[in-house]
C-alpha cells in the first residue's frame, strides 16, 4: 500500500464523521428553510455571523465561499489584472502560482526564511521600483515549507504595505492547527486596512465540505459578492449550514484538538525518523500545520529520488513544483494524511531510496 | 405578508427535509472517506456515475458542479470569447443574458413562440450570415415563459446546428417537472455531437444543495474540469454525497412526485384565477415547471403595475428583465413558491392593482 507524504489532507481517522452526521440532522432541523433555499452570494448568514464574531469584525466584512481556493480566485479576479506585479513567497503553494500566472500577473518570488518572507529582500525590490498590487503570504505553517512568519516580520510587512500601497493577502488555512509555541496575531487584526484575509474549514472540519471564507473591507466584500452571484448565485447552503452547526455545537473545538494532537505526534515521529534514517536531510521542526520542507545536499537529484521512492510505494511532492525556478534538491513532506506507523515505514523506505540514488550518483561520477 | 410570484424557487412544504437528513446520515455512513476528502474536479464519482446512467452516457461525459449556474459559467468560459455570436431565446433567463453580455458576447435574441424558439427566424439569421458559437436553449417549461420546444423544432434546431456548425446548449433544469402532456426526448440524446446539456437538482432536491451538472463530449468535459480545478479544486463532496444517496434510495422519485403534484395544482389555480380575475391577461397553460408568461394588452404600464402590486404586498418579475429590448407589457409569474391559498389571494390583489393602473392610464388620457 502506498505511503503518501504528498497528500496535504487529513487522514480519515481524524475527521469527526459522527459529528458531521449530528450536525447535518440538527442543522436541517433548526433551519430547514435557510439551508434548502438559494440563500445569498455572501454565504449562509448564521455561519457568516459566526466567522465575523470569531474575527471581531462586522458581518459585512465576511464572504463565505465554496472552499478557500474559490475565495482566492474571486479575490484575484477582483484585484489582479494582466501585468500586475504580485509578490509571492519562494517556495509557495503551487495552485496559487498557477492561478496568478494564468491571470497574466507578473509574479515576483521573494525568499521564504525560517521566520517567514525575507522582508529586507522585499524592501529592496520595492526600493528598486517594484509596485505590487498584492503580496500573497501564508503566515502560519506555510505550504509547502511549514515555516511561520514572526511577529516582527508581520509588523514590517504591514509597514511596507502602508508605505508602498499594496494589499497583503493573508492566506491562513492552517492557523488553528498550532501544536507548539505561542500563537501570533493575524495581520488582518493588526492592520485591517492593508489586509485581505482568507481561511477555510478544510483543515478543521474536512476538505470535502468545501467551505472557506474571505475577510476584508465591506467595499471589497461587496465587489467579490457580485463576482460570486455571477459565478454560482450562492455557495452551498447545506454544507455551510452543517459547518455552522458544527462550529456552534462545540464539535469544531473538539475536532481541532483531535487534529492538533495527531499532527503533533506525526510531526515528532517524522522529525525523529528523518534524523535517524536520513541524517543528510535539513529541516525545521514545525509548530503546526501539515507540512515540512526538507532540503537535501545540493546536487541531490530529487527527480531520481522521486522515482526511487515511487518504486517503493512512497510519494512526496518535489520542491520544484512550488517555485518559478530552483528547488531541485528539496521536497515537501506532508504528515497530515499518514499514521505514525506509516511515517516510520515511509521514512525508512525514503532513506533507502536516497541511498540508492546517491550511490548511483557517485557511481556515475566514478 | 408578501405574496411572491417573483421567486423561482420551491416553497418549503415541498422539500423533503426528513429525506435530506436521512440521506446525510446514510451517505456519511456508507462513504465517509469519499465525502470528506477533496475529491475530484469532475464531482463526487458515485453521483457522476448515477447521472451518466440516467442519461445513458459514459461517466467521462459528465461533470458535476456547485449548481448549474456554475456549469453555465464554466461552459461559457470554455466556449464563448469576446465578440462571439450567441443565440438566446427572447425572452430568456436574466442571469444567462447578464453572464453572456459580461463576457462580451454578441447576443442575438430570437423570438420564443409557444412551441419554442422561432426556427424560421433563426434560419433567416444564419442565412443572412450570422455564425453563432452557441445557441442557448431552455427546452422544457422555459424560464421565464413556461413554453416547451416541440419535437419538430428540436429536430430542426439540430439540423441547423449541424449545417452551420454551432453548439446547442440545452439548459434543462425543469425537465423532471412535467405534470401534463407527454415527455419529449432531450436534444443531447437525439444528436449528442451538437449538444452540451446542463441540468440541476435544485428543482428536485432543493436549491440550497447547489448541485448541477454538464453532459457533453469527453473532450469538452476534460477542458471544463481544468477550469473547475483552477476555480475550486473540487465541488462540494458532502452535498453531492447527500444528493447521490437521495437519488439512489428512491427519495428523489418521491420528491419529484410531491413537487409535480404541487406544481400541477398551483398552475391550475393560477390559470383559473387569472381567467376569472384578470380576463385581459393572455398566457399559455404550462405543462410543467415553475413559470408562466403573462401578456397584458399593449400599452399596459407594467412598471406602474409592479409598484401598485408591491403596494399590495404582491411581487412578480417584469418582462423587460428577460429581454435585451421589449417586454414592456409582460410579466413572469412563478407559482413554485406560493401555496394555492396565496395564489388565489395574490391574483385578486394583482387584478385590483391592474384596475387601478389602467383606470389611471385612462384618466391620464382623458
pLDDT tens column, A83-102 = 999 999 999 999 999 999 99
With cell 515555516, the residue in question is: A147
Q: Can you give chain B as a three-state secondary structure string?
A: CCEECCCCCCCHHHCCHHHHHHHHHHHHHHCHHHHHCCCCCCCCHHHHHHHHHHHCCCHHHEEEECCHHHHHHHHHHHHCCCCCEEEEEECCCHHHHHHHHHCCCEEEEEEEECCEECHHHHHHHHHCCCCCCEEEECCCCCCCCCCCCCHHHHHHHHHHHHHHCCEEEEECCCHHHECCCCCCCCHHHHCHHHEEEEEECCCCCCHHHCCEEEECCHHHHHHHHHHHHHHHCCCCHHHHHHHHHHHHCCHHHHHHHHHHHHHHHHHHHHHHHHHHHCCCCECCCCCECCEEEEECCCCCCHHHHHHHHHHCCEECEEHHHHCCCCCCCEEEEECCCCCHHHHHHHHHHHHHHHHHHHHHHHHHHC
| Distant-in-sequence contacts of A341-345, Cβ < 8 A, 24+ apart | A342/A3, A343/A266, A343/A269, A343/A270, A343/A273, A344/A269, A344/A273, A345/A3
Whether residue A102 lies within 8 A of chain B, CB to CB, comes out as: yes
Say yes or no for a CB contact (<8 Å) between B210 and A34: no
β-pair type (A330-334, B3-4): unpaired
| Cβ-contact A5, B34 below 8 angstroms | no
The CATH class given to the A16-251 domain equals alpha beta
Element containing residue A34 per DSSP (H, E): helix A32-36
Q: Which residues of chain A have pLDDT under 50?
A: 363-366
Say yes or no for a CB contact (<8 Å) between A21 and B29: yes
Q: What is the mean pLDDT of chain B?
A: 96
pLDDT for res B359: 86
| Cβ-contact A350, A321 below 8 angstroms | no
Helix residue ranges, H only, A193-250: 218-232, 237-248
| Cβ-contact A160, A116 below 8 angstroms | no
Residue ranges of chain B assigned to CATH 3.90.1150.10: 3-12+253-365
Q: Report residue B154 as a C-alpha cell.
A: 428540436
Distance CA B50, CA A281 (A): 48
Question: Three-state DSSP class for A220?
Answer: helix
Residue ranges of chain B assigned to CATH 3.40.640.10: 17-249
pLDDT tens column, A2-19 = 999 999 999 999 999 999
Residues of chain A with Cβ-Cβ distance to B36 below 8 Å are 12, 15, 17, 20, 206-209
Residues of chain A with Cβ-Cβ distance to B239 below 8 Å are 236, 238-239
| Cβ-contact B34, B364 below 8 angstroms | no
pLDDT tens column, B15-61 = 999 999 999 999 999 999 999 999 999 999 999 999 999 999 999 99
Question: Three-state DSSP class for A284?
Answer: coil
pLDDT for res B336: 97
B254/chain A closest Cα distance in angstroms: 17
Residue ranges of chain A assigned to CATH 3.40.640.10: 16-251
Is the ipTM higher than 0.90? The answer is: yes
Per-residue pLDDT, averaged over B94-113, amounts to 95
Q: B110-133 as b/e, with b when 16 or more CB fall inside 10 Å?
A: bebbeebbbbeebbebbeeebebb
Whether residue A362 lies within 8 A of chain B, CB to CB, comes out as: no
pLDDT for res A360: 63
pLDDT for res A209: 97
- pLDDT band at residue B362 under the 50/70/90 scheme: low
Per-residue pLDDT, averaged over B183-195, amounts to 97
Say yes or no for a CB contact (<8 Å) between A69 and B231: yes
pLDDT greater than 60 at residue B291:
yes
Per-residue pLDDT, averaged over B232-252, amounts to 97
pLDDT greater than 70 at residue B365:
no
pLDDT tens column, B133-168 = 999 999 999 999 999 999 999 999 999 999 999 999
Whether residue A152 lies within 8 A of chain B, CB to CB, comes out as: no
| Cβ-contact A168, A194 below 8 angstroms | yes
A243: closest chain B residue by CA: B238
Look at residues B134, B150, B153, B43 and name the one whose alpha carbon lies nearest to residue B96. Answer: B134
Per-residue pLDDT, averaged over B250-276, amounts to 98
Residues of chain A with Cβ-Cβ distance to B241 below 8 Å are 208
CATH 3.40.50.620 fits B3-12+253-365, yes or no: no
Chain A interface mutation, best of B208, B212, B242, highest count of A Cβ atoms under 10 Å? B208
pLDDT for res B1: 87
Element containing residue A85 per DSSP (H, E): strand A85-90
| Cβ-contact A116, A153 below 8 angstroms | yes
The CATH class given to the B17-249 domain equals alpha beta
pLDDT tens column, A298-330 = 999 999 999 999 999 999 999 999 998 889 999
Say yes or no for a CB contact (<8 Å) between B28 and A24: yes
Amino acid at each position: 500500500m502506498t505511503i503518501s507524504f504528498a497528500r496535504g489532507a487529513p487522514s480519515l481517522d481524524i475527521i469527526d464523521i459522527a459529528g458531521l452526521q449530528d450536525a447535518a440532522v440538527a442543522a436541517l432541523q433548526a433551519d430547514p428553510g435557510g439551508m434548502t433555499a438559494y440563500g445569498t452570494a455572501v454565504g449562509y448568514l448564521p455561519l457568516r455571523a459566526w466567522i465575523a464574531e470569531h474575527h471581531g469584525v462586522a458581518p459585512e466584512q465576511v464572504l463565505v465561499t465554496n472552499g478557500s481556493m474559490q475565495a482566492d480566485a474571486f479575490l484575484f479576479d477582483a484585484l489582479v489584472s494582466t501585468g500586475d506585479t504580485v509578490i509571492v513567497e519562494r517556495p509557495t503553494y503551487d495552485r496559487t502560482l498557477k492561478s496568478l500566472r494564468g491571470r497574466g500577473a507578473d509574479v515576483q518570488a521573494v525568499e521564504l526564511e525560517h521566520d517567514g518572507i525575507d522582508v529586507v529582500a522585499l524592501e529592496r525590490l520595492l526600493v528598486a521600483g517594484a509596485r505590487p498590487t498584492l503580496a500573497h503570504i501564508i503566515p502560519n505553517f506555510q505550504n509547502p515549507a511549514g515555516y511561520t512568519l514572526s511577529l516582527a516580520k508581520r509588523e514590517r510587512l504591514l509597514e511596507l504595505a502602508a508605505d508602498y500601497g499594496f494589499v497583503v493577502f493573508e492566506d491562513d488555512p492552517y492557523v488553528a492547527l498550532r501544536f507548539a509555541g505561542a500563537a501570533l496575531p493575524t495581520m488582518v487584526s493588526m492592520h485591517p486596512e492593508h489586509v485581505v484575509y482568507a481561511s477555510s474549514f478544510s483543515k478543521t472540519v474536512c476538505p470535502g465540505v468545501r467551505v472557506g471564507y474571505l475577510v476584508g473591507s465591506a467595499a471589497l466584500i461587496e465587489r467579490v459578492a457580485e463576482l460570486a452571484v455571477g459565478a454560482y448565485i450562492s455557495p452551498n447552503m447545506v454544507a455551510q449550514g452543517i459547518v455552522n452547526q458544527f462550529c456552534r455545537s462545540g464539535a469544531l473545538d473538539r475536532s481541532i484538538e483531535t487534529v492538533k494532537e495527531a499532527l503533533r505526534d506525526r510531526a515528532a515521529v517524522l522529525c525523529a525518523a528523518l534524523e535517524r534514517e536520513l541524517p543528510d536531510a535539513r529541516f525545521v521542526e514545525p509548530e503546526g500545520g501539515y507540512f515540512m520542507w526538507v532540503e537535501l545536499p545540493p546536487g541531490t537529484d530529487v527527480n531520481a529520488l522521486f522515482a526511487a521512492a515511487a518504486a517503493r510505494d512512497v510519494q512526496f511532492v518535489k520542491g520544484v513544483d512550488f517555485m518559478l525556478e530552483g528547488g531541485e534538491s528539496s521536497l515537501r513532506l506532508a504528515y497530515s494524511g499518514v499514521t505514525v506507523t506509516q511515517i516510520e515505514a515511509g521514512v525508512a523506505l525514503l532513506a533507502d531510496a536516497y541511498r540508492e540514488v546517491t550511490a548511483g550518483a557517485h557511481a556515475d561520477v566514478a
